[in-house]
């Protein structure tokens, strides 16, 4: 990509209008380009057929569109679809379409790789290469929605930022992508259909409250005492449970949104009733629901899936305390598409033109 060109999807509508005015065109042309970019998901200026050839030539001379391309896809026996997307500089990210009887969910990535190195997560073994732009994030949603329509005859019902990367460490671009997904001049998706998942960046959770975000928030907890959480999640050393509790309370006070606690249950690590009691105690900090998630093995991983009877007892104990509890079964495990398994096993090769249709 010519670095002298500007990524047009990084511009606001007002900045785009100013550029058109400087070019000597009426500002409503900028609105037309904006609709092509964010409503019609155009990946080239030549697709913008209601613009003159002169305007399209000017756009090609000054701007580029940071479009992603579908490189590969795998379909699980449970109908989950994992997609590898080719992005700028030959890098690869992954997104997952998760169909269930009641939902059609897109699990999307916010970064190339991840910097947090959680011990149970395959993505955490990849170094952080860069943040994704808002356009690259939105493109994933569009591709996965097209897959949902093609394979299952449905539109997406939910979007979760639970793929590769930590969304709150790419705050600006993630929030811009949410704006484009939810805006009337974007894709018009309800923010209540979107969930941000974080490993626990307290100051950014507070910022979500200050910005009065309307999306849902999920905290990847996995242990409710600092010693155990430090062992599996380095981020807890600088964002301990007391700090997170304070940030979550602030977030709820500002937004009124119930928080989801994600709890992967590991054999002989965090699967005892004593662990459930600690979780119940921590969960008192805000109105919440708890998702207990079975562990998905990764290559050379040191953890194992907890015994089903222990999982059942764990959930029943929490429910006895009137907590809202869901036990989440893994989806797409056979194609390494389940929670914690996204690790770019697909090679970074040129996109297959057959998949771009």
- Provide the annotated active-site residues: 94, 339
**DSSP E strands: which ranges in the chain?**
6-7, 63-64, 69-75, 81-86, 92-99, 104-107, 111-112, 130-131, 158-161, 194-198, 216-220, 259-265, 288-294, 324-328
Strand partners, 259: 217, 288
CA-nearest of 223, 202, 234 to 118 is: 234
Contact 106, 157 (CB under 8 A): no
CA-nearest of 87, 162, 95 to 132 is: 87
Tokens read off for 170: 């790419």
Can you tell me the distance from the alpha carbon of 185 to that of 174, in angstroms, rounded to the nearest whole number? 17
Tokens read off for 277: 């009691």
Can you tell me the distance from the alpha carbon of 298 to that of 305, in angstroms, rounded to the nearest whole number? 11
Distances (CA, A) of 111 to 92, 116, 212, 263: 10, 12, 23, 22
Can you tell me the distance from the alpha carbon of 328 to that of 273, in angstroms, rounded to the nearest whole number? 19
């Amino acid at each position: 990509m010519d670095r002298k060109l500007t990524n047009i999807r990084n511009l606001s509508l007002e900045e785009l209008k100013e550029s058109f005015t400087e070019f000597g065109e009426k500002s409503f042309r900028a609105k037309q380009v904006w609709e092509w970019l964010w409503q019609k998901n155009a990946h080239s200026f030549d697709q913008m057929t209601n613009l003159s050839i002169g305007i399209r030539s000017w756009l090609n001379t000054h701007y580029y569109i940071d479009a992603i391309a579908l490189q590969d896809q795998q379909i699980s026996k449970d109908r989950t679809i994992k997609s590898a997307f080719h992005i700028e500089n030959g890098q690869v990210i992954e997104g997952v379409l998760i169909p269930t009887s009641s939902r059609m969910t897109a699990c999307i990535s916010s970064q190339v790789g991840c910097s947090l190195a959680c011990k149970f997560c395959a993505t955490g073994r990849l170094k952080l290469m860069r943040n994704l732009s808002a356009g690259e994030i939105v493109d994933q949603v569009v591709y996965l929605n097209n897959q949902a329509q093609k394979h299952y005859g449905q539109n997406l019902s939910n979007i979760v930022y639970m793929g590769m990367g930590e969304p709150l460490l790419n705050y600006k671009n993630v929030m811009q992508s949410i704006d484009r997904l939810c805006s009337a001049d974007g894709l018009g998706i309800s923010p209540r259909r979107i969930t941000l998942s974080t490993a626990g960046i307290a100051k950014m959770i507070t910022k979500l409250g200050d910005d009065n975000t309307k999306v849902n928030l999920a905290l990847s907890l996995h242990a409710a005492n600092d010693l155990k959480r430090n062992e599996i999640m380095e981020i807890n050393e600088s964002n301990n449970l007391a700090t997170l509790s304070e940030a979550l309370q602030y977030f709820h006070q500002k937004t009124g949104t119930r928080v989801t606690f994600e709890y992967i249950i590991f054999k002989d690590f965090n699967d005892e009733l004593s662990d459930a009691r600690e979780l119940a105690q921590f969960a008192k900090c805000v109105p919440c629901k708890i998702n207990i998630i079975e562990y998905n093995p990764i290559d050379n991983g040191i953890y194992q899936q907890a015994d089903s009877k222990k999982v059942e007892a764990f959930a029943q104990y929490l429910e006895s305390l009137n907590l809202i509890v869901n036990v989440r079964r893994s989806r797409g495990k056979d194609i390494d598409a389940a929670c914690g398994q996204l690790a770019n096993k697909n090679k970074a090769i040129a996109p297959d033109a057959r998949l771009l249709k």
